[in-house]
Structure 1
């Protein structure tokens, strides 16, 4: 960083900390242009009044250049018992056969730790909790996105889909992986808080979990089909009632000055799941009450507009930084200074769709509105 840039940043930051009354003193401490001019003898005849006017002008310019979102992003909190109950009730589909519903709850049976919701004819989303019985969970560990397919290399959508699970098996454990050509779901798991699982040597922080129970298919194996029948025959788009139920649950706010849509921020609804992270649903309409389809399921992590704050160093996945304070939703995109706070966002597409940057396929959208730090 150049000395002039550093001096400008230090001066601006000091003015913000001291307030307008300290602007003239700060200018003198940091060595403004007026001081340099006096030393060169070019402004020796300048009156005190003109100097005061110049200082006032500099102060006004500095205030105009003040940056938004310099205070830390508000912290969130873990899901409440009521939140978890509402989510478990909303994620009420059963894409696996009965033999895999090994956990008996008071409301229904479950596949261990998971609840599911179909969002299209070929894709579903899921929640992975910290307890085998979701009704007894206290924390959310992962969000999950699944794609119908076969256990082949050709059918694996992309590298984030590390785990294949058969839709029909003698038990939950028996459903992991399979024989080449078996029908089932390729799953992405996104860790939403710091967690520890047996398939990792040490705890992991929020990130796309490329190490989640890998089930590599046979190298070079071919075949991809999605028109097979699922155990619950439930694959479909969300209904209006499903959409409205999810919107009611995802009821948190983390931005200021950016409620540009009837419900709040355009196309998005949010839910805090820890002090540092929230999960979100991104719909196909700015007014989510009018949305027809869910197009992304994702996560945001509190941080500043610096490379060091990109979660787990996954800069190809967490492509977009959004400030928590701005004059509008559009103004919140990206940052102008590493001092600014907001969240780093990863967007995982839940269906094939078109965006201004091109065709998007199911998977992590690595082209989603990039906001590079340099």
Structure 2
């Protein structure tokens, strides 16, 4: 597996997760609580609360984040047209771009953007013509590979699609060893497609249009030519345009530690009242980042097991309070009454190294876990 240039060492890993100080590294790699309470010198760090004195002179925590978390709203059609214009790459051949829009032709429901030599991110809408969509249904990650069991990255990559076919439908699945992309889909709202037995809520969709490979089939390569040949990291212009488009706020101002404009390494876009999509870069200041490393969603909730989206605690590993004294203090929670967001992080860059080890393209199930006790 090829690592991207400038693989992240321990110091850079701290920047990549958008935090600072050895206390946070301890919190990521130590007890697994995801809520560090000591720094490298053994002194206590913040826990997201203000400490006050009660009548007996004892310290008691005054919990933050007990009020409702910020809420968003669904994208308007005008707001949808902005990312549609920005996601302008074509990993599929021309014959599969069957939907003629006002501005260009599209693969049905999808728009795409390359973010590495091997991966693209995508948006999946509720209308075959993305320009006419009224809702975003999924975020998508495409990983180059072959239609074999060996090449299937992980279980969330349920669907294989050939890069070259006579039609969009003709690209689904294929023959053993066909070139194309393994696709993972994360639902951002309540939806029901023909392959669902029931309506599903926001979650990783392990039922999405399954195309199981032949059991035991071998072969894997990403070294093949794609229809557009535009693979690679985001350009500076593309990065900046996406940052401008992802203009939502999900925490209190105290956590907007990067120039008062960003939470470290993250930009978000609200897509429903309860869900935002985020981009997670490899630098605390998104404007100085050289790579996108995670693509994911945040879902409003409380620090309770019943609040984990889709009962997918293995995928939504990290809870972040909306209100805290600072970014580091927002990780995890101390009480079930605290409000915030459950986050699922889908790694999108091959060979990513984080404090907890090398992360393959896929759901990062080790990302800063904050388990409900």
**d(CA) in 2 for partners of 1:59 and 1:199?**
59
* Aligned position for 2:105: 109
* 1:283 maps onto 2:262 in alignment: no
Q: How many aligned positions are there? A: 319
**d(CA) in 2 for partners of 1:259 and 1:236?**
30
> How far is 1:57 from its partner?
5.7
* Aligned position for 2:139: 143
> How far is 1:299 from its partner?
0.4
SS in 2 for 1:86: helix
* Aligned position for 2:255: 258
* Aligned position for 1:4: none
* Aligned position for 1:14: none
> How far is 1:81 from its partner?
2.1
Q: Greater helix percent: which structure?
A: 1
* Aligned position for 1:356: 355
* Matched-pair contact (CA < 8 Å) for 2:138–2:186: yes
Give 2:199's match in structure 1, choosing from 203, 225, 228. Answer: 203
Structure 2's unaligned 5+ residue stretches are 1-51
- Per the normalisation by structure 2, the TM-score is 0.84
Q: How does 1:213-362 map to 2 (within 5 A)?
A: 213-256=209-252, 257-262=254-259, 263-352=261-350, 353-362=352-361
> How far is 1:83 from its partner?
1.6
**d(CA) in 1 for partners of 2:125 and 2:98?**
15
> How far is 1:319 from its partner?
0.2
Which string of whole-angstrom CA distances, capped at 9 and with x for unpartnered residues, describes residues 79-114 of structure 1? Answer: 122221110000000110111011000000000000
SS in 1 for 2:113: strand
> How far is 1:202 from its partner?
1.3
> How far is 1:74 from its partner?
1.4
Decide whether aligned partners of structure 1 residues 226 and 335 sit closer, same or farther in structure 2, where only a CA change above 3 A counts: same
* Aligned position for 2:115: 119
SS in 1 for 2:342: strand
SS in 1 for 2:85: helix
* Aligned position for 1:33: none
SS in 2 for 1:66: strand
- Per the normalisation by structure 1, the TM-score is 0.84
**d(CA) in 1 for partners of 2:123 and 2:55?**
51
**d(CA) in 2 for partners of 1:296 and 1:61?**
45
> How far is 1:141 from its partner?
0.1
Aligned residues: CA RMSD: 1.3
**d(CA) in 2 for partners of 1:302 and 1:121?**
33
Decide whether aligned partners of structure 1 residues 176 and 65 sit closer, same or farther in structure 2, where only a CA change above 3 A counts: same
Which of structures 1 and 2 has the larger relative contact order (alpha carbons within 8 angstroms, sep 6+)? 2
Which string of whole-angstrom CA distances, capped at 9 and with x for unpartnered residues, describes residues 157-201 of structure 1? Answer: 000000000000010000000000000000000000001101101
* 1:79 maps onto 2:75 in alignment: yes
> How far is 1:250 from its partner?
0.3
**d(CA) in 1 for partners of 2:53 and 2:85?**
60
Q: How does 1:2-81 map to 2 (within 5 A)?
A: 58-59=54-55, 64-81=60-77
Which string of whole-angstrom CA distances, capped at 9 and with x for unpartnered residues, describes residues 276-320 of structure 1? Answer: 100000000001100000000000000000000000100000000
**d(CA) in 2 for partners of 1:357 and 1:204?**
31
**d(CA) in 2 for partners of 1:316 and 1:147?**
21
Q: How does 1:129-140 map to 2 (within 5 A)?
A: 129-140=125-136
SS in 2 for 1:244: helix
* Aligned position for 2:148: 152
**d(CA) in 2 for partners of 1:367 and 1:62?**
37
* Matched-pair contact (CA < 8 Å) for 2:54–2:60: no
**d(CA) in 1 for partners of 2:355 and 2:284?**
15
* Matched-pair contact (CA < 8 Å) for 2:53–2:60: no
Decide whether aligned partners of structure 1 residues 96 and 60 sit closer, same or farther in structure 2, where only a CA change above 3 A counts: farther
Q: How does 1:154-193 map to 2 (within 5 A)?
A: 154-193=150-189
Structure 1 stretches of 4+ moved >2 Å:
56-64
